[in-house]
Amino acid sequence: MKIAVFGGAFNPIHYGHLRLAREFASRLKLDKVMLIPSSTPPHKLHAHMAADRDRLEMCRLSVKGDPLFLVSDIEIKRAGVSFTADTLDKLTELYPTAQWYLITGADMFLTLGTWHRFEDIMLRAILCTAPRDDIEGAKLREYAAVLEKRGAKCIIEDIPKTDISSTKIRQLIRSGKDIDCLVPNSVKDYIYKNSLYKNAIDNTENSDAQFIEIIRGRLTPYRFRHSLAVAEQAKHLALLYGADPKKAYAAGILHDIMKDEPKAALLQMLSDFGIILNNAQMASPSCWHAIAGAEFVRNILKIGDDDIINAVRYHTTARAGMSPLEKTIFVADFTSLDRDYPDIDEMRRRAQLGSGPAMEYALSYTIRELLNKSAVILPDAIDAYNEIIALKQKESNNYAATKSSQK
Contact positions vs Fe ion (CB under 5 A)? 256, 333
The full DSSP string for 271-310 is HHTT----HHHHT-GGGHHHHHHHHIIIIIS----HHHHH
Least separation in angstroms between CB 337 and Fe ion:
13
Least separation in angstroms between CB 130 and Fe ion:
45
Beta strands in 146-221 (DSSP E): 154-156
Least separation in angstroms between CB 290 and Fe ion:
6
Cβ contacts of 279 within 8 Å, gap of 6 or more: none
Least separation in angstroms between CB 204 and Fe ion:
28
Task: Choose among 67, 106, 73: nearest CA to 90.
Answer: 73
Partnered with residue 99 across adjacent β-strands are 2
Instruction: Report the residue number, 58 or 300, with the smaller CB distance to Fe ion.
Output: 300
Instruction: Report the residue number, 200 or 257, with the smaller CB distance to Fe ion.
Output: 257
Instruction: Report the residue number, 282 or 400, with the smaller CB distance to Fe ion.
Output: 282
Cβ contacts of 401 within 8 Å, gap of 6 or more: none
Least separation in angstroms between CB 224 and Fe ion:
11
Partnered with residue 33 across adjacent β-strands are 4, 69
Least separation in angstroms between CB 343 and Fe ion:
17
Instruction: Report the residue number, 21 or 291, with the smaller CB distance to Fe ion.
Output: 291
Helix (H) or strand (E) holding 358, with range, is helix 355-372
Strands 125-129 and 154-156: parallel
CA atoms within 13 A on the CB side of 55: 27
The dihedral through the CA atoms of 134, 139, 145, 150 has a sign that is: negative
Instruction: Report the residue number, 122 or 238, with the smaller CB distance to Fe ion.
Output: 238
Instruction: Report the residue number, 168 or 225, with the smaller CB distance to Fe ion.
Output: 225
| Residue 55 and residue 37 in contact, taking contact as beta carbons nearer than 8 Å | yes
